[in-house]
Homo-oligomer: A and B are copies of this chain.
Amino acid sequence: MKKSLVALALLGAFSGAHAQSSVIIYGTLDAGFAKTTNTTPGVSSPTTIGKRDNNKLGFRGTEDLGNGLKALFHLEIRLEPDTGTIEGVTRPLFQGQSRVGLQGNFGTVRLGRGLTALQESTTAYEPWSGLPNVAGFQTDLQVGGYRTATPGSGSDPLGPAGNSGNRFSNAVFYNSPVYRGFQLNWTWGTRENNGLATFIQGRNPTYPGTAPGFNAQYPVGRQGGAYPYSVSATFTEPSSAPRYSVMLANERNATEVSLWSVAGYVRPMPALKLMATYNKQDLDNVTPVSALGRMSEINSWVLGMNYTMGPGKLLLGYGQKHPEMVLKTKQASIGYEYNLSPRTYVYLDLSNKKLPAAVTSTVTTTQNHYSMGIHHNF
């Protein structure tokens, strides 16, 4: 995600200007044709204008405070390019992030809302670089099924309905300096339940059977059972073209669901990047006993490859997710990007995904997906 540089300060030309300032406008627009079969079993989506990446319009800036200290902020609007609405129609305006903080020798500390340490760190080990499209692995397999579509799961289970599952609201974000290749990232959230009366319904109460199977209930307004946190530690070869990197990460959300993730990549030659991730989600605190028994754990792994060929890049990935007692999900994807410039490319993605037809189903359904389009950073 190259952020382009846009705006620049003028000194003194307007009253009220006290010091040099800068706001950088950046963003991504990505639109293309897309089609997925069996989005519900037996029903395919029409060919439509879809997206591969999140579309965004962001504003950010830094201020030099002297002595190596900086103030910095990010405000990032998300949108749907095909209809012009904000992302998901009901998500926050600044769905991408809204953070302000300080940067210095101690690292970076920010307050507000953004990706958690784990969710942000995993993207370096995913073959689609964390792009949230159907062919990519980030939003499901790369995080062991840890997302809001599963009640109680995901980074923000007590957020408004329809929110994204990989951010903390009401949080403190810390990134350490990189020391000999090591970096520590840590996110801490409050127990506030941001579900709003008009948006949220309690997640667990929608499950059948309330009493015996449950460990916790989080109706509207009830605070989380624990302070959520997310931590990732990475080691990347200290080099301008690192040949390897590893990550260990753990996150626990406000409903006490936790996720462990280990990941790594190697570059046997400069054009080739090989990636692997293994994840384990512990859902014991929120899952009821179903007809099949209790699904208290989900394991998943993803293997990936990127191969650069001149202006082109080939993406390959394969992964599996295995929730206890439930059929496996298996996904294979291939993608190709052709760079028209450092900030614009066209792409083609193909994907095949086998998944249970319903949560406790004993039959699988197969989704084929294609998308082709243009991706433009500004």
Contacts and interface: CB of A to CB of B under 8 A. Distances in A.
A116 B349 CA distance: 29
A172 B31 CA distance: 10
Contacts of A96: 84
Contact of A93 (B23, B86, B102, B172): B86
A48 interface: yes
A253 interface: no
Given A6-B9, A373-B111, A100 B341 contact: no
Nearest to A112: B81
B3 A6 contact: no
A79 B84 contact: no
Contacts of A69: 340
Nearest to A74: B29
A39 interface: no
A21 B75 CA distance: 19
A190 interface: yes
Interface stretch (A11-19, A137-145, A236-244, A354-362): A11-19
Counting every copy of the chain, the complex holds 3
Report the interface size class on chain A.
Answer: 35 or more
A192 B48 contact: yes
B21 A343 contact: yes
B194 A31 contact: no
A364 interface: no
A34 B8 CA distance: 34
Given A71-B340, A85-B92, A344-B63, A6 B18 contact: no
A97 B94 CA distance: 19
A71 to B, nearest CB: 4
Given A29-B75, A84-B98, A171-B49, A13 B7 contact: no
Contacts of A61: 378
Contacts of A32: 111
Contacts of A24: 14
A223 B2 contact: no
A194 B83 contact: yes
A49 B83 contact: no
Contact of A99 (B5, B80, B81, B171): B81
> Which of A25, A80, A84 is most buried by chain B, counting CB atoms within 10 A of its CB?
A84
A346 B80 CA distance: 36
Given A18-B2, A101-B374, A374-B101, A343 B46 contact: no
Interface of A: 2-11, 13-14, 16-19, 21-25, 27, 29-32, 46-49, 55, 57, 59, 61-63, 65-66, 69, 71, 73, 75, 77, 79-86, 89, 92-102, 111-113, 159, 169-172, 190-192, 194, 196, 223, 340-344, 373-374, 376, 378
Closest 5 CB pairs of A and B: A4-B21, A5-B17, A29-B100, A84-B92, A84-B94
Given A32-B111, A66-B341, A81-B113, 17 more contacts: A4-B19, A5-B10, A6-B21, A8-B8, A19-B341, A21-B343, A21-B378, A27-B75, A31-B112, A57-B75, A63-B341, A65-B341, A73-B378, A79-B98, A81-B98, A84-B169, A86-B92
